Amino acid sequence: MSRYFVDRISRRLALCFGTVAFLILIFIAVFILKGSLPALGEIGVADILFSTEWYPSHGAFGIFTMFAGSVVVTILALAIAVPLAVGCAIFLAEVAPCRIGNMARPAIELLVGIPSVVYGLVGMIVLCPAIAHLSGTGSGSSVLAAAIVLAIMVLPTITSISEDSLRAVPTLYKEGALALGATHWQAVYHVLLPAARRGIVAAVVLGTGRAIGETMAMVMVIGNSPILPTSIFAPARTLTGNIASEIGAATGMHESTLFVTGLVLFVLIMAINSVGLLLNRRKK
Partner 1 sequence: MYLKINRKKVSVFMTGCVLLAVLALGGCSQGASGTIAIGGSSTVQPLAEKWGKAFEAKNPDVKITVQGGGSSAGVKGCAEGIFDIGAASREMKSSEADQWPELVAIHVAVDGVAIVINPASNSVTGMTLEEVRDIFASGSNATWTVINREEGSGTREVFEEKVMSDTKVAPNAEFLPSNGAVKQKVAATANAIGYISLGYVDSSVKALSIGGVACNEVNCAEGSYPVTRYLNFITKGAPDGLSKEFIDFCLGSEGQKIVGEEDYISIA
Write out 82-103 in H/E/C secondary structure.
HHHHHHHHHHHHHHCCHHHHHH
Q: Which of the stretches 17-25, 108-116, 149-157, 233-241 binds partner 1 when contact is defined by CB under 8 A?
A: 233-241
Q: How far is CA 6 from CA 12, 13, 163, 210, in A?
A: 10, 10, 39, 39
Binding status of residue 19 toward partner 1 by CB under 8 A: no
Binding status of residue 256 toward partner 1 by CB under 8 A: no
Binding status of residue 51 toward partner 1 by CB under 8 A: no
Q: Which of the stretches 90-98, 159-167, 232-240, 267-275 binds partner 1 when contact is defined by CB under 8 A?
A: 232-240
Binding status of residue 120 toward partner 1 by CB under 8 A: no
Say if CB 181 and CB 245 are below 8 A apart. Answer: no
Among 51, 225, 273, 280, binds partner 1 (CB under 8 A): 225
Name which of residues 158 to 177 contact partner 1 (CB under 8 A).
none
Among 120, 123, 140, 199, binds partner 1 (CB under 8 A): 140
Q: Which of the stretches 41-49, 75-83, 110-118, 225-233 binds partner 1 when contact is defined by CB under 8 A?
A: 225-233
Among 5, 46, 97, 251, binds partner 1 (CB under 8 A): 251
Of the candidates 151, 182, 187, the one whose C-alpha atom is nearest the C-alpha of residue 169 is 187
CB of 152 to partner 1, least distance (A): 21
CB of 224 to partner 1, least distance (A): 4
CB of 86 to partner 1, least distance (A): 35
DSSP the chain: -HHHHHHHHHHHHHHHHHHHHHHHHHHHHHHHHHHHHHHHHHT-HHHHHS---EEGGGTEE--HHHHHHHHHHHHHHHHHHHHHHHHHHHIIIIIS-HHHHHHHHHHHHHHHHS-HHHHHHHIIIIIHHHHHHHHSSS-S-SHHHHHHHHHHHHHHHHHHHHHHHHHHS-HHHHHHHHHTT--HHHHIIIIIHHHTHHHHHHHHHHHHHHHHH--HHHHHHSB---S---STTS-B--HHHHHHHHTTT--HHHHHHHHHHHHHHHHHHHHHHHHHHHHHHH--
Among 2, 113, 137, 171, binds partner 1 (CB under 8 A): 137
Among 38, 101, 138, 213, binds partner 1 (CB under 8 A): 138
Closer residue to partner 1 in complex, CB, 84/132: 132
Q: Which amino acid is at 232?
A: I
Among 36, 74, 141, 215, binds partner 1 (CB under 8 A): 141
Among 1, 107, 172, 249, binds partner 1 (CB under 8 A): 249
CB of 225 to partner 1, least distance (A): 5
Q: Which of the stretches 10-18, 102-110, 130-138, 266-274 binds partner 1 when contact is defined by CB under 8 A?
A: 130-138
CB of 137 to partner 1, least distance (A): 6
Q: By the criterion CB under 8 A, which residues form the site for partner 1? A: 53-58, 65, 129, 132, 137-141, 219, 223-227, 234-235, 237, 245-246, 248-252, 254
